Structure 1
């Protein structure tokens, strides 16, 4: 269960999010749409523990973020969250397979144990033949698929995706959206997709629009 109660975040005295509430149950996958600048990425960063709210409450599976210090937030992100960033954040000094395996390494798995699930996810996103490649050898769309595989490899309880298909052609966009939705439902996890694409949003269980008045169905 993800519980968001009266969440607020201000920048330079201006409210970007003000009194936002949302409850999501395991297995639920929602898409959030809205105009640029309305606070969609800010909301994802707060849910991911990458930013602190000015008010309100965030709770994932009984863990209240406000009680956590930075070290505990790092552990929560490592063990329970998967995040697909717009900017990929693929590490240039690791191969494609190593980038995907990284969450498993951070959890303490050795390279041999982490290799098989990493390779399975690369096959699932259509990059099975690029495991030994370096990020500099990939296109933007391929790096986005690496980032999606990395976000899913450790079977997180909460998957956050910020415009995950923005760099993909239509065929690969459909492929990764189906993968995201399928993995979230199969694992009984919670998924939040932020997107401008109505086609992408349609793959979620429900679509919410973020406005200055909050989230609306």
Structure 2
């Protein structure tokens, strides 16, 4: 009887250990991979992009929307071109952590921790080859602080990370957010809020 109990307990222990190892791994994707047959190429990321907009930067993304082969793989990539004094303004990716590497130039980068962590600002000045990580969902930015154009590449941990540009979202919503709501939130005169809304 004691031998049967020991054997039974050994088998249960082995199964429990095996099951916990299986559960600890990432879930399998819905499919092994997806090849984008007959999908037009997006032009690649080797050429500089024009930065003739108000913020002085251009973000070129490679995600599941323009490269179907990324479907279920959980990654995407962007190239960011910055003019002199250009910036990638404060924004967030609700579905992805981002790792950025500077290919050319000098960038001042940072992110802000969440409200529960005291809204602490983490910043660093990056030069060619330097790397910085922006945690998922946190507001972050990059600004070209060099005397020439800059280029960076970033990988994101989602096939479709999403992007919410803070100023565009708050002041450029359609329809506009009531100026009194924003005036109180930002502690500004409603006329200033209306002026900002007109810019976006």
* TM-score for the superposition, normalised by structure 2: 0.25
Higher relative contact order (CA 8 A, sep 6+): 1
Larger Rg: 2
